[in-house]
Amino acid sequence: MLSAKMEDYLKAIYEITQREGEPVSTSSIADLLDVTPPTATSMMEKLEERELVEREKYKGVTLTREGETVALEVIRHHRLLETYLAEQLGYDWATVHEEADTLEHHISEEFEQRVAELLDDPEVDPHGDPIPNDALEPVVEDADRRLSNHEEGEQLVVTRVRDRDPEELDYLQDAGVTPGTTVTIEEVAPIGMLTLRLENGETISLPDSIAEAIRVRAPDDAVEASPE
């Protein structure tokens, strides 16, 4: 049986792989989990012994199929729990990530199934992140792009918002920028600010650091990202 910490590492490797490709560097893992590189290296050795990762010297690690399956199961638990907490218990979307981090390692498969059935098998969590299916098939990343990569005059639909910074999420929620929101880029300032016009006609200015946390698609390509 794997420890919660081992599962956290496998999940981290999977998430970094989705963003940056593979192999994944030990320093990237250490940064995401807020541990020292030697601590991350020690864990990689343990995961390699269990045949959950493959390591290539000076390059990084990749998940084995077994390691990927474990990561997908933890991610499925996490994102189902986030959705359950938000939809059924009234949690704010800025607080569900931390709660789900605590619970994700401790729920049974029966509990997972009942939550999924209660929620009618949602495809995305409150932040727009895709929920792996019950077969734990690899998640196919779509064509979403960072808001910060777009230009003035473009109309876009928000599909995903990074979920690791509660203050960032509170700010965006207060501004009305959540999955499913249509926005138009009014101005891209050289000082690192981006101004959006919302559906209600109001405008909001975002620093590049927050714009990079928002994924968007063209209206013709976007599907409804927010849960019913």
CATH of the domain at 169: 2.30.30.90
Q: What is the pLDDT of residue 191?
A: 86
Q: What is the pLDDT of residue 142?
A: 65
In a domain, 78, yes or no: no
From residue 149, how far is each of 42, 140, 144, 156, 206 by CA, in Å? 37, 21, 11, 12, 13
CA distance linking residue 130 with residue 122, whole number of Å? 9
In a domain, 222, yes or no: no
In a domain, 174, yes or no: yes
Contact 35/75 with Cβ under 8 angstroms?
no
Which amino acid, residue 15? E
Write out pLDDT tens, residues 150-198: 999 999 999 999 887 888 899 898 888 999 999 999 999 988 899 999 9
In a domain, 73, yes or no: no
In a domain, 102, yes or no: no
| Residue 191 backbone phi and psi in degrees, to 5 | -90, 10
Range of the domain at 172: 145-217
Residues of the chain with pLDDT under 50: 223-228
Q: What is the pLDDT of residue 158?
A: 95
From residue 1, how far is each of 5, 54, 70, 105, 214 by CA, in Å? 12, 19, 11, 12, 36
Q: What is the pLDDT of residue 151?
A: 93
Last residue of a domain, one of 13, 35, 63: 63
In sign, the C-alpha dihedral spanning 209, 212, 214, 216 is positive
In a domain, 128, yes or no: no
Query: Residue 32's domain is classified under what CATH number?
Result: 1.10.10.10
Q: How many structural domains compose the chain?
A: 2
Q: What is the pLDDT of residue 139?
A: 82
- Which residues are CB-neighbours of 59 under 8 A, at least 6 positions away? 23, 25
CA distance linking residue 51 with residue 45, whole number of Å? 10
In a domain, 33, yes or no: yes
Instruction: Tell whether pTM > 0.85.
Output: yes
Q: What is the pLDDT of residue 125?
A: 96
Nearest to 128 by CA among 107, 109, 142: 142
In a domain, 149, yes or no: yes
Pairing outcome for strands 214-217 and 155-161: antiparallel
Q: What is the pLDDT of residue 140?
A: 76
Q: What is the pLDDT of residue 96?
A: 95
